[in-house]
Amino acid sequence: MRSGSMRVAEISLPAIRHNVRRVRELTGGAVIVVVKAGGYGHGAAITANAAFAAGATIVATADLEEALALRDAGVTGPLLCWLHGVRADFGEAVDAGIEIGVSTLEQLERLGAAAAERGSQAVAQLKVDTGLSRNGSCPDDWPVIFARAAELEAEGLVRVRGIFSHLANAGDEADRAQATRFDEAIELLRQAGIDPELRHLAASAATFSSPHLHYNAVRVGVTAYGLSPFADKTSAQLGLIPAMTLRSEIIALRGVPAGTGVSYGFNHVCEAATTLALVPMGYADGMPRALNGSGAWVTVAGEPRPIVGRIGMDQFIIDVGPLAGRLSLGDPVVLFGDPEQGYPPVEIWSGLMRTINYEIIASIGPRVIRVPIDGPDRNPAADAEARA
C-alpha cells in the first residue's frame, strides 16, 4: 500500500473464506464465486484467491477482459466468463485456459474455430435463457446449439463442461417455472449426447432461499462478500460476514459558531456551536451525493456521527461536536463495515438511496485502495455463540 492513502477499503480474507465455506456447507455442491466488476468493488484478484483458498470450484467474471486481467494478476484456477461483445477474441480465452459461457451458435462457432486454429481444446459452458430475457440462448435455438456442441465435442475442439441459467428473482412460482425449463434444457442436451459435469441455476438469493434450485453447483456473488441479497434479512441472519470496511480519516478539525453554513449551497447550517471534521472521501469514491441531508452516519472513535452538508467529489464533513476533545487529525472514520463490529452496515446507504447493497459496493471508486487483511479463519460455531 502506498503510504498516506486516505481512502481504504479493507477486505477481510477470513470473512470471504468464511462466506464461501458457508455456501459450500449450505449446498453441498460446487461453488462458483462471481468476481465481476472488480469483485463487486472488493478487488477481483483478492477475492478470487480467497475464494479458491476456501474451496471454490470456479471463479467467474462477466467479461473476458476481466478474466484475462485475473490471469495477468497471477490467478491460476479455473475461470469462466459469459458476457461477450462481437469482437471478443476467444483465441485469447483458449490460450489462457478460460471457460466461455456460450449464448449463441455464432459464439460456439468462434470458440470452435479458435480451438482449431491453435490445435487445442476450448472449454464451454452453455448459457440458456429460461425466462430472464437477457443473456443466454432461447429455447428455440437449443436443438441446433446443442447438436453443434456435440459435434465440436466429438471433434475434440470443445469440451462442454456445464450448462447454466440465471433466475429473474420474480418469486417462487417464477423460479420454479424457470427450473422446469432448465430441466428441459438439460434433458435436451443429454439427448444430444452431452452429460455436463456442472449444472447451475441459483445465484445468491436462490442459494439461500431455495434448496430445490441448487442442482450440483451454485454461482454466488454478493453473499461471498458477506452481504445479504434480501431486503428483509441481514448478513448475520444468513451466517455471513461483510468483508469490506470502508475507511478514511479526519484530515481537518474546526470549531465553528452557531449559524455556520456547511459545504456547497449551505443546505446545512449549524444550529449551535460545534466542531466539524473533514473527511477526504466523496462521490468520486462511491459515496452517493444524494446522501446529503438524508441522516446517514459514519463511526468516529467508535461513535456514530452524522454526515452534514453536501458531499463533494473528494470530501465530506461530519459534525463531531460531543467528541471534539477526544479527536485528533488522522483518527479513523468508518463509512460502512460489519455491523457486528459496531460499524454502519452498507444497507443504510442503499436503503436511503432506494437501491440495493450491490450498487453501493460496485460503485466504490478507483481512488480507494483495496487492502487485503488476512488473519486466522473464524470458527462458525464460535461466531454463532458470540452472536447469541
Ligand X SMILES: *Cc1c(COP(=O)(O)O)cnc(C)c1O
Residue 56 bridge partners (DSSP): none
Kindly tell me which of 29 and 221 has the beta carbon lying closer to ligand X: 221
Chain residues that interact with ligand X, rule: CB under 6 A: 34, 36, 166, 203-205, 219-222, 229
Query: If 0-12 CB within 10 Å is exposed, 13-18 middle and 19+ buried, where does residue 115 land?
Result: buried
| Minimum gap (Å) between residue 217 Cβ and ligand X | 11
The catalytic position among 36, 40, 215, 343 is: 36
- Contact between 387 and 27 under an 8 Å Cβ cutoff? The reply is no
Kindly tell me which of 219 and 370 has the beta carbon lying closer to ligand X: 219
The answer to whether 367 is annotated as binding is no
Angle between helices 142-154 and 105-118 (to 10 degrees): 10
| Minimum gap (Å) between residue 63 Cβ and ligand X | 11
Residues in the chain: 388
Contacts of 81 (CB under 8 A, 6+ apart): 60, 61, 62, 63, 64, 66, 67, 93, 98, 99, 100, 101
The answer to whether 134 is annotated as binding is yes
C-alpha cell, 251: 484530515
**Alpha-carbon radius of gyration of the chain:** 24
Closest residue to ligand X, Cβ-based?
221
- Contact between 319 and 270 under an 8 Å Cβ cutoff? The reply is yes
Kindly tell me which of 31 and 281 has the beta carbon lying closer to ligand X: 31
Q: How far is CA 46 from CA 97, 369, 371, in A?
A: 20, 12, 9
**Cα–Cα distance between 69 and 81 in angstroms, integer?**
12
Q: Which of 57, 373, 385 is nearest to 243 (CA)?
A: 373
Known catalytic membership, residue 358? no
Kindly tell me which of 205 and 318 has the beta carbon lying closer to ligand X: 205
| Minimum gap (Å) between residue 224 Cβ and ligand X | 8
The catalytic position among 127, 225, 264, 343 is: 264
Kindly tell me which of 223 and 315 has the beta carbon lying closer to ligand X: 223
Known catalytic membership, residue 343? no
Which residues are designated catalytic? 36, 264
Q: Which residues are annotated as a binding site for substrate?
A: 134, 313
Q: Which residues are annotated as a binding site?
A: 134, 313
